[in-house]
Chains A and B, each alone.
Chain A
Amino acid sequence: MDRVLLDYGSGGKASHRLIGELFLKYLGNAVLDRLDDAAFLEMSGPLSVSTDTFTVDPIFFPGGDIGSLAVHGTVNDVAMLGARPRYLTCGFILEEGLPMADLERIVESMGRAAREAGVLVVTGDTKVVPRGAVDKIFINTTGIGEVFVPEAPSGHRARPGDAILVSGFVGDHGLAILSKREGLTFEAPVLSDCASLNHLIVRLLETVPEVHVLRDPTRGGVATTLNEIAGQSGVECRILESSIPVRPEVSGGCSFLGLDPLYLANEGKFLCILPQEHAEAALSVMREDPLGRDAVQIGTVRAEHPGKVVLETPLGGTRLMDMLEGEQLPRIC
């Protein structure tokens, strides 16, 4: 059959075929292959757990697809607490009529992403809903990992005097998705930065365990994430605008659309806040990894305007960088 049918979610023979021929083929491992009602795991705490549901449109985009994104996104969230992600669960909601070839491409890509991140998919679920009830495919992933640092990084731990680092260019994923979705073509194509950061995070925390905050600036981008941290910790995040790495093609695309790259989603970047005296050490660990090659310090934590993000512009002026009301919308003139 070349399309997903309602039968595939029935729990009967069709479902079993789908599981055997597709999911186990790409995601299989000793735990999953047992096909029990639940996965038997051996872990010891403290643990980091995260869940996320992926509904991205389009499902295939320059630099990735919804499957790899569902793995990277959850692996990264688990890792941000100073944990080694170990296991993933995944739930699929499929729209009747989804081409089987698309589903296979997505599951294969998930398998590859999971292998690269070193996590096992240990249990899953598939539902098929009538055409129109969802948009092609939604994927939920839940991840779990063991925290290996004495004190887990948290958005509450930013302190005045800390340095704020970013692991590379911002806004790539958001603009890649938008340009594919709207059929916009820019001179230089922008690829999503979608990647699992866990190996880099482990190396970073093994070398510099003093890290206070780790956060991946996904939806809402760097601006929103910094606002969250400023609020959680009751501090000011003071950012030097000229130090934020933005690719010329991303800033070009953004100025054309009237968007701000600092509010665009990233899927392979993280913010790291730690005492200034450890900033250089952290940056050099990050720069040794291809995923952190362009890491830089973009600002410092202060006490002056608690809960606010203040941007210092290249002219030396200052302004607020607030959270947005809703999603960013391209402008009229």
Chain B
Amino acid sequence: MSLFDNFKDPELCKALLDRIHKELDGELRFMEVCGTHTVSIFRSGVRSLLSDKVVHLSGPGCPVCVTHDSEVAAFLELAGRNAIIATFGDLMRVPGPDKKSLKSAQAEGARVKVVYSPFDALKLAQDNPGDKVVFLGVGFETTAPAIAATVKVAREQGITNFSVLCFHKLVPPALDALVGDPELKVQAFLLPGHVSAIIGVEPYRFLAEKHGLPSVVAGFEPVDILQALHLFVTMRNEGRAEVVNAYTRVVSDAGNPKAVSVMHEVFEPADALWRGIGLIPGSGLTVREEYAAFDAMRVFGMELKDVPAIKGCRCGDVLKGKLSPDGCPLFGKACTPAAPVGPCMVSTEGSCAAYYKYKV
């Protein structure tokens, strides 16, 4: 049995489930902040094993889902210009304001290349010296450091035809905005393992200290998730609220200071637009002045344009835990993975998409 199998062990899971259900009195409404958790909760079958008293809500944790319409419009505008777009695969199908996507732009002749790391995009720039290569910088603290490092390398090597369209989002400011909403119906937070591996545990302390919400940094295997749920129950029963790092095999409390410092050297915090939520102060990253030559917005002289909000989409409510995805009137009818209306249906890690895909 490998280390990983231990974290999938059915016996252990069953024991944890029993304890959760036995020790829980009343309802527990928990939210995960990370799309990988969302998918894992469904894929592993954990969700179908939770009693009705444990209410699972999916938060804004998928970088693709929260990429704002006006940002998607900017990708598509760039794809129409004379540039090679390098992107991670999951952005390909995200629909823009007029239902266009990078996939359809590619079919119409735009040069779009799916890459597996930002360094592949840099290599693309080196291999095509006559073209401008733009990497679409979408993601949370997890992906930003590697992209920042790529920009640094580009500058060191004097590569001038490479830039990044930087639409990174930061998780703690978004959580701060979310929990500040008096209508929020969440009692505990399952915190993202990958993001925490970079930023550590400190930035989440306010959840417990300011808002009294028990929060656990957890891994992605079923045992990790069930352990976190059990911790919620224990904390509640004992009248405590803390931020606990239960993923110590990957996440150190201090995070990865080197990665954070590279990220801050190249990028700086800025206000950002979240799809389905709107503007959240200080929740994004932009390229610092010193690296302006690698900022696609500046290189191509672009600005974010206002895009009309999607009609009928209840994603804001879904993300706040006020509505279950299948409670949205458009769910599975006007809004499906084939023709997504809102962000939560767009990515495979979005909460509406996970419901659609996995719920029996």
Contact = CB atoms under 8 A, between A and B. Distances in A.
B222 interface: yes
B88 A331 contact: yes
A257 B47 CA distance: 24
Interface stretch (B37-45, B229-237, B271-279, B317-325): B37-45
Contacts of B92: 329
Interface in A312-333: 312-320, 322, 325-326, 329-333
Given A315-B46, A318-B48, A331-B349, A325 B338 contact: yes
A310 B360 contact: yes
B59 interface: no
B116 A317 contact: no
A236 B211 CA distance: 46
A259 to B, nearest CB: 10
A315 B44 contact: yes
A332 B63 contact: yes
B264 interface: no
B138 A317 contact: no
Contact of A332 (B48, B49, B90): B90
Nearest to B4: A255
A257 to B, nearest CB: 8
B114 interface: yes
Contacts of B139: 332-333
B143 A332 contact: yes
Contacts of A319: 42-43, 45, 47-48, 358-360
A320 B43 contact: no
A310 B357 CA distance: 11
A313 B93 CA distance: 29
Nearest to B46: A317
A330 B222 CA distance: 22
Contacts of B356: 322
B360 A331 contact: no
A38 interface: no
A34 to B, nearest CB: 44
A134 interface: no
B10 A315 contact: yes
B348 interface: yes
Contacts of A133: none
A325 B101 CA distance: 14
A315 B14 contact: yes
A14 interface: no
Nearest to B226: A315
B93 A326 contact: yes
B64 interface: yes
Nearest to B348: A331
B219 interface: no
Contacts of A258: 90
Residue with the highest number of chain B CB atoms closer than 10 Å, among A182, A312, A325, A332: A332
Contacts of B49: 315-317
A318 B49 CA distance: 8
Contact of A333 (B91, B143, B222, B360): B143
B91 to A, nearest CB: 8
Considering residues A305, A311, A316, which has the most beta carbons from chain B within 10 angstroms of its beta carbon? A316
A257 B348 CA distance: 14
Contacts of B89: 329-331
B13 interface: yes
Given A258-B90, A318-B48, A332-B143, 8 more contacts: A310-B360, A313-B44, A319-B47, A319-B360, A329-B89, A331-B349, A332-B63, A333-B142
17 contacts: A182-B116, A258-B90, A305-B360, A308-B360, A314-B10, A316-B10, A318-B45, A319-B45, A319-B360, A320-B360, A322-B356, A330-B88, A331-B88, A331-B348, A332-B90, A332-B91, A333-B139
Interface of A: 182, 184, 257-258, 305, 308, 310-320, 322, 325-326, 329-333
